Structure 1
Amino acid sequence: MFEWLVSPFVEYGFMQRALLGSLVLSVSCAPVGVFLMLRRMSLTGDAMSHAILPGAAIGFVLFGLEIMPMTIGGLVVGLLVALGSGFVSRFTVQKEDASMAAFYLISLAVGVLLVSWRGSSVDLMHVLFGSVLALNDEALVLILGIAVVTFLALGIFWRALVAECLDPLFLRSVSRIGGPTHLLFLVLVVLNLVGGFQALGTLLSVGLMMLPAVTSRFWSNDVRALCGIAIAIAVVSSLGGLLLSYHASMPSGPAIIMVAGVAYLFSALFGRRGVLASALPSRRHTSA
């Protein structure tokens, strides 16, 4: 058991860095995913993860696979896409989900073309799917920095974020911080997607953010509890995915997301608010 569970992280430095990066991402991304879920913006997170691709691709074209240029590019373009889709939905007849879909599809196409133009198929796969086993010290520092910023923001603006999440119209009617709070939240989403991009690529970075969050909904209805459960699921998924990747020779990023997906299916069936729990009262009523 020791050899199967612990030995890979003791013997190999790349596994240690992968574990540290994945755990920090789990702690940082999962609470942001909970707020996205409560806002009914789960698919927006997926769109935003693709939206950072052109910025990362520009950094790649100019500087190669360097972390900071790709990170800054992804952050800038991700925020521009979020603000641009919001601007279109505010001043036209189009809803925000439709404008976000349009922006993300354009961004994804432009990003893939840019990477394909200057790089190989290997570079494209790295950008799209990441490589958590290839995290270096610079990437870990970036991920840690994003986690610190996220927790400081959540700690300081928790009440405002919860209020803006559950009843944004009420918050804007009684306070002027509704707009800035929404902008802060978008920044946190893009930051964590950029951090996840370093390990999981643009296509899978949203997985560690959203799957634990939506899974936690089957176990609780309290915001703080949802965040704690989502973090626990993300941590277990990261650890299980890395072990599965090591022992079964699977790609590490997809393995992590697959374990999170199994946790979702299990919770959907057996969770306190899952399918079986919902069916029990009707069975008792029928037997009575």
Structure 2
Amino acid sequence: MLTSGAYAHFVAPFVEYAFMRRALAGSLLLAASACPVGVFMMLRRMSLAGDAMSHGILPGAALGYLLYGVQILPMMAGGLVAGLAVALASGVVARLTIQKEDASMAAFYLISLALGVLLVSLKGSSVDMMHVLFGTVLALDDEALAVIAAIAAVTLLAMRLCWRALVADCMDPLFLRSVSRLGTPVHFIFLCLTVVNLVGGFQALGTLLSVGLMMLPAAAARFWVSRADRMCVLAAAIGAASCTAGLLLSFHFALPSGPAVILCAGAVYLVSLLAGSRGILTSRIRMAATPTL
């Protein structure tokens, strides 16, 4: 049984306030879908590409804002189109030219970032810019929750159907393409899932922080387990715990909710880096305990 103090600190905010319940529901849905995607981003050595794609959605979201104001569906639809355009264009350039995918993605993301900032500045204020860049998870409404739930469902279903191909593409993409025609389609499906989840996190965490929920739990899970399936489950659990803790910190100490969530995930990453079963301290202790010949 929880004491009255524990109930007031950990349970009451979600029981008594509808905006906290919606924020928690949206955050948990994002953790369930975005964190497994982050695992595959990390295994593919595309962690920084996720950051590039998160900036790539900015011009579409800004265009939706210019046309319809702060409405979730137009902004997310615009962000989805822009993000997919950046991801697909960079993939096409990498396959048709001598340029690597990271370089082409960086070029397109810089163009998108500048265009997005320019579009927001045409009509918006500094408050609008902060909303687009950092999100407002405490302002999620039922419409936004429905969109995030749909993104989570599509992501988990697609990963279930393409699981073996996704794992093979991470381990040895050249081998997959030599024995199967699924290599290129799976790669583009994965890029689409990445963009869709970044768009889902856009309203809650903004374009700058949405990739944090995707990558930090995945990076932390890597220090505890080695199998991809266990890594995905653990990353989702770390993401869910980070979201819950960040929302509680935001509520009790009047902190910005998005940065609080990402900092909680960052704290778990640092602990995992040091004390995880494959972390720095554990590896040093294991090496010290191993007898030398």
User: TM bucket by the smaller chain?
Assistant: over 0.9
- Partner residue, 1:173: 178
Structure 1 segment 151-230 matched on structure 2, within 5 A: 151-230=156-235
Structure 1 segment 14-93 matched on structure 2, within 5 A: 14-93=19-98
Q: Distance in 1 between matches of 2:35 and 2:281?
A: 25
**Offset of residue 286 of structure 1:** 7.1
Cα shift readout 1:189-245 (whole Å, capped 9, x = no counterpart): 010000000100000000110000011000010011100110110010000000000
**Offset of residue 39 of structure 1:** 0.4
Q: 2:138 aligns with which of 133, 142, 151?
A: 133
Secondary structure of 1:273's counterpart equals coil
**Offset of residue 287 of structure 1:** 8.0
The question of 1:13 aligning with 2:25 is answered no
**Offset of residue 116 of structure 1:** 1.2
The question of 1:261 aligning with 2:266 is answered yes
**Offset of residue 178 of structure 1:** 1.0
Name the aligned partner's letter for residue 74 of structure 2.
Answer: P
Q: Distance in 2 between matches of 1:68 and 1:101?
A: 27
- Alignment coverage as a number of residue pairs: 288
The question of 1:281 aligning with 2:286 is answered yes
The question of 1:148 aligning with 2:153 is answered yes
Q: Distance in 2 between matches of 1:156 and 1:124?
A: 38
Consecutive unaligned residues of structure 2, counting only runs of 5 or more, are: 1-5
Cα shift readout 1:56-88 (whole Å, capped 9, x = no counterpart): 111111111111111111111111111211222
Consecutive unaligned residues of structure 1, counting only runs of 5 or more, are: none
Name the aligned partner's letter for residue 16 of structure 1.
Answer: R
Question: Structure 1-normalised TM-score?
Answer: 0.97
**Offset of residue 91 of structure 1:** 2.8
Q: Which runs of structure 1 show a deviation greater than 4 angstroms over 4 or more consecutive aligned residues?
A: 285-288
Give the stretch that moved more between structures: 64-73 or 275-284.
Answer: 275-284
Aligned residues of 2:87 and 2:192 also touching (Cα < 8 A):
no
Q: Distance in 2 between matches of 1:138 and 1:2?
A: 29
Q: Distance in 2 between matches of 1:207 and 1:108?
A: 18
Distance 1:92 1:287, change over 3 A: closer
Name the aligned partner's letter for residue 210 of structure 2.
Answer: S
Cα shift readout 1:162-187 (whole Å, capped 9, x = no counterpart): 11121111111111111111111111
* Aligned residues: CA RMSD: 1.2
Give the percent of matched residue pairs that are identical in Structure 1 and Structure 2: 64
**Offset of residue 145 of structure 1:** 0.3
Question: Structure 2-normalised TM-score?
Answer: 0.96
The question of 1:271 aligning with 2:276 is answered yes
Secondary structure of 1:6's counterpart equals helix
**Offset of residue 285 of structure 1:** 4.5
**Offset of residue 90 of structure 1:** 2.5
Secondary structure of 2:204's counterpart equals helix
Give the stretch that moved more between structures: 37-46 or 64-73.
Answer: 64-73
Name the aligned partner's letter for residue 7 of structure 2.
Answer: F
Cα shift readout 1:245-279 (whole Å, capped 9, x = no counterpart): 00111000000000000000000000000001111
